[in-house]
Structure 1
Amino acid sequence: MAGLYIHIPFCASRCVYCDFFSSTDFSFKRGYIDAVCRELELRIHELRDEPVFTVYLGGGTPSSLSPSERGRLFRTLSTVVDWSVCKEVTLEVNPDDVTPLFISQLKDTPVNRLSMGIQSFDDSDLVFLRRRHTAHAAMEAVDNCLCAGYENISIDLIYGLPGQTVERWTNNLRQAVTLNVPHISAYNLIYEEGTALWRMREKGLVKECEEEESLQMFETLIDVLGFSGYEHYEISNFARSGRYALHNTSYWKGVPYLGLGAAAHSYDGKSRRINPSSLSEYMEALQTGHVAYMEEKETVDSLYNEYILTSLRTCWGLDLKKLEDDFGAERMRYCLEQALAHIRAGRLVVTDNIMRITRKGLFTSDDVMSDLFWVD
């Protein structure tokens, strides 16, 4: 099985926190979709005749595509993807795009899951983040989806905003729960270098949320969603029973995937390929019949460290037998030796040869996982 990711980099405006590759110049859209279709034709061999299990259209703002642009893309995908076998086809959407007309037009595509970037149900937060929708519009967008039969919805939220309190965050979560969507992702705000948010902090225009308050918000997130029936299956992801995000889960489980589009990444189990983060470079290369990606070969050390990182993020944990089978007894012993202090402190637990991070360990998970990394 394999995954297929398509990056759609176009946005009407940039949010203050976003460091994903994007462009506000919509004049490139049609030519860009042609380039993505051409890239698929050139790289189809990389799927190695494996059935495509998941497709994910991310961005950027994939919901900004016109019906004709979506149609062009899905017609090309249909030459590669058997939709009867493909379990999940996700489209990232902005709430302000999700009108009844948009949903009715989407019915003509294989999309069966929507990932909606709501970020907050507080209008003052949305203004600060430079989101184009209001809290009311976000709730209306979810309702539009449900009324049209699209119930497989994930919503994204952000916490740890400047000036945000635990009480305001709790109200956000309570509002999210009332929507009864099957999946919720929630991320702590990060000040990525080069973003508008990062520049605002450097100029003293905003102050980061205190670490202790962010940790309280994370605890509140776990408590409120857990009480409401959501399983905490990955550090930032919560789902109703059995409603995990299949595409993202494949990343955490090391399933190969092909990434199409500018700045997209691909992984075949042995190497990573990274497309250029430039519309002109990406499109011009495809006009000459090739893809200008960079390739990074994985080493045993990097694969071991990645297995530590991805497996411990999830409720399934780290399989010590698999670790030994894949990386040898020496690394397995090293992992256990490094983990011992965290096991004694209650941050890690080993049951039936599976190592997992405990709730206590979640609050310092980056430190816990990095301590298990192999360092020459």
Structure 2
Amino acid sequence: MAGIYIHIPFCRQACHYCDFHFSTSMKKRDEMVLALAKEIAMRREEFSAEIVETIYFGGGTPSVLSNEEIQFLIDAVYTNYTVGSNPEITIEANPDDLSSERIIQLSQSQVNRLSIGVQSFFEDDLKLMNRAHNALEAEECIIEAVKHFNNISIDLIYGIPGMSNERWIENVEKALSFGIPHISSYALTVEPKTALHTLVKKGIISAPSDESAQEQFQILVDTLEANGFVHYELSNFGKEGYFSRNNTAYWLGKKYIGIGPSAHSYDGTRRSWNIANNALYLKSVGDDMLPSETEKLTIADRYNEYVMTGLRTIWGVSLERVETELGSMYRAHLEKEAAKFITQGLLTNDNGIIKTTKSGKFLADGIASDLFFLNLD
């Protein structure tokens, strides 16, 4: 199984918390779509022996493209790669782009999964984050989307300054009321060089509270699990049969090609990333050059990445896989470093699979960093 990720580097406006690569200028949109299709063709040899099972439009805001432009890029993938018989084709979309007409048109295309960036159903939260849509648009687009799409995910953010636990519960219950099968949810974080970082530094907005975020994370887990969702990855919850195939492939170490400015790729032993600059990306592709840098992963890199991703998922980290793929030294290191967290009740060793416990889930990334192998070879 392999995947194609297509990064659409445009947004109508900048959310205060976002540190992804994008531009709010649409001047080069037509040129960019052609360049993305060209990069798709330029890289076809990388997957000459692979079956593409997922195509994912991320960003940025992919829904700023027209349905015709999205189909043009899907066609480019089909022209240049062997695509499976039932691929998952996802587009991230903002509520303000999802009119009834647009949803119907998308449902008639090859896109079969919508990921809707709701973030909150409350106007105050959306204004604080500088989202382009309002609360009414969020509700209306989901009501329309469920009429035409079976596979829908929405994003929600917790730990927003001023958000009480009661308001967070209302957010989660509102999401559940639509009957959607997948929810992705993230803690609001203050990333460097973002508007949110500046606003917090100036005291205009309070810094997010770690304690509040942890409480709201636990509310989220308890509520969604009680409603039949599987907490299959730290930030992702899905009904059976509705886990994101694209993201699951990332966490399980499958190969993927990232198309577009700032997009990352992985082939099992090497990681590459495209330049995060629209103008330089366009120039490079126009000159028939791939705009990327490549890093060959050391065994320690591969171990660290597997531990980081594995602890975030229900599949955990397999001691046998560590030993088979990376060596007995790495297995011994993992067992030794995990022991203290097992004693503290934050990890378990269940038949050779290291997993986080309920109390360890929120701390998964921090625990993983303590399990890293630091003497890089």
Do the structures match in fold with TM over 0.5? Answer: yes
State the alpha-carbon separation in 1 of the partners of residues 63 and 98 from structure 2.
8
- The residue number in structure 2 matching 1:316 is 315
- The residue number in structure 2 matching 1:167 is 166
Within 5 A, what are the aligned runs for 1:143-154? 143-147=143-147, 149-154=148-153
Q: What letter is aligned with 1:204?
A: G
Secondary structure in structure 1 of the residue aligned to 2:109? coil
Q: What letter is aligned with 2:312?
A: R
Return closer, same or farther for 1:235/1:123 CA change in 2, 3 Å cut-off. Answer: same
State the alpha-carbon separation in 2 of the partners of residues 332 and 370 from structure 1.
16
Q: Higher mean Cα deviation, 362-371 or 35-44? A: 362-371
- The residue number in structure 2 matching 1:244 is 243
- The residue number in structure 1 matching 2:360 is 361
Residues 91-127 of structure 1: CA deviation (Å, up to 9, x unaligned): 0000111112112322443110000000001111011
The answer on whether the counterparts of 1:95 and 1:141 sit within 8 Å (CA) in structure 2 is yes
Return closer, same or farther for 1:370/1:89 CA change in 2, 3 Å cut-off. Answer: same
Q: What letter is aligned with 1:249?
A: T
> How far has the Cα of 1:75 moved from its partner?
2.2
Secondary structure in structure 2 of the residue aligned to 1:91? strand
> How far has the Cα of 1:81 moved from its partner?
4.4
Residues 286-327 of structure 1: CA deviation (Å, up to 9, x unaligned): 111111211111011100100101111100111110111011
- Asked if residue 374 in structure 1 is aligned to residue 373 in structure 2, the reply is yes
State the alpha-carbon separation in 1 of the partners of residues 81 and 90 from structure 2.
14
- The residue number in structure 1 matching 2:228 is 229
Q: Higher mean Cα deviation, 43-52 or 63-72? A: 63-72
Q: What letter is aligned with 1:93?
A: A
Structure 2 residue ranges without an equivalent (≥5): none
- The residue number in structure 1 matching 2:267 is 268
- The residue number in structure 2 matching 1:299 is 298
TM-score where L is the length of structure 2: 0.97
- The residue number in structure 2 matching 1:124 is 124
Within 5 A, what are the aligned runs for 1:97-116? 97-116=97-116
> How far has the Cα of 1:25 moved from its partner?
1.1
State the alpha-carbon separation in 2 of the partners of residues 75 and 108 from structure 1.
15
> How far has the Cα of 1:50 moved from its partner?
0.5
- The residue number in structure 1 matching 2:53 is 53
Within 5 A, what are the aligned runs for 1:189-228? 189-228=188-227
> How far has the Cα of 1:26 moved from its partner?
1.0
The answer on whether the counterparts of 2:146 and 2:180 sit within 8 Å (CA) in structure 1 is no
State the alpha-carbon separation in 2 of the partners of residues 82 and 271 from structure 1.
22
Q: Higher mean Cα deviation, 157-166 or 112-121? A: 157-166
Q: What letter is aligned with 2:56?
A: Y
> How far has the Cα of 1:174 moved from its partner?
0.8
The answer on whether the counterparts of 1:4 and 1:54 sit within 8 Å (CA) in structure 2 is yes
State the alpha-carbon separation in 1 of the partners of residues 81 and 140 from structure 2.
32
Residues 49-93 of structure 1: CA deviation (Å, up to 9, x unaligned): 211011100011111112332232222122034555243000000
The answer on whether the counterparts of 1:300 and 1:327 sit within 8 Å (CA) in structure 2 is yes
State the alpha-carbon separation in 2 of the partners of residues 79 and 109 from structure 1.
16
Residues 128-153 of structure 1: CA deviation (Å, up to 9, x unaligned): 11112222211110111122x21200
The answer on whether the counterparts of 1:115 and 1:153 sit within 8 Å (CA) in structure 2 is yes
Residues 305-359 of structure 1: CA deviation (Å, up to 9, x unaligned): 0010111110011111011101111110111010111111111111121111101
- The residue number in structure 2 matching 1:258 is 257
RMSD value, Cα: 1.2
State the alpha-carbon separation in 2 of the partners of residues 12 and 182 from structure 1.
28
Structure 1 residue ranges without an equivalent (≥5): none
Q: What letter is aligned with 1:307?
A: Y
Q: What letter is aligned with 2:329?
A: E
TM-score where L is the length of structure 1: 0.97
- The residue number in structure 1 matching 2:87 is 87
- Asked if residue 2 in structure 1 is aligned to residue 2 in structure 2, the reply is yes
State the alpha-carbon separation in 2 of the partners of residues 297 and 82 from structure 1.
26
State the alpha-carbon separation in 1 of the partners of residues 3 and 104 from structure 2.
26
State the alpha-carbon separation in 2 of the partners of residues 223 and 75 from structure 1.
42
Q: What letter is aligned with 2:197?
A: W
The answer on whether the counterparts of 2:51 and 2:83 sit within 8 Å (CA) in structure 1 is no
- The residue number in structure 2 matching 1:135 is 135
> How far has the Cα of 1:41 moved from its partner?
1.2
Residues 244-294 of structure 1: CA deviation (Å, up to 9, x unaligned): 000000000000100100111011111111101111100001111111211
Q: What letter is aligned with 2:229?
A: Y
Secondary structure in structure 2 of the residue aligned to 1:151? coil
Residues 207-251 of structure 1: CA deviation (Å, up to 9, x unaligned): 123222211111111111111111111111101122100000000
Q: Higher mean Cα deviation, 337-346 or 104-113? A: 104-113
- The residue number in structure 2 matching 1:43 is 43
* Structure 1 runs, 4 residues or longer, greater than 6 Å off: none
State the alpha-carbon separation in 1 of the partners of residues 90 and 183 from structure 2.
14
**Share of identical aligned residues, percent?**
40
Return closer, same or farther for 1:241/1:71 CA change in 2, 3 Å cut-off. Answer: closer
Within 5 A, what are the aligned runs for 1:274-285? 274-285=273-284
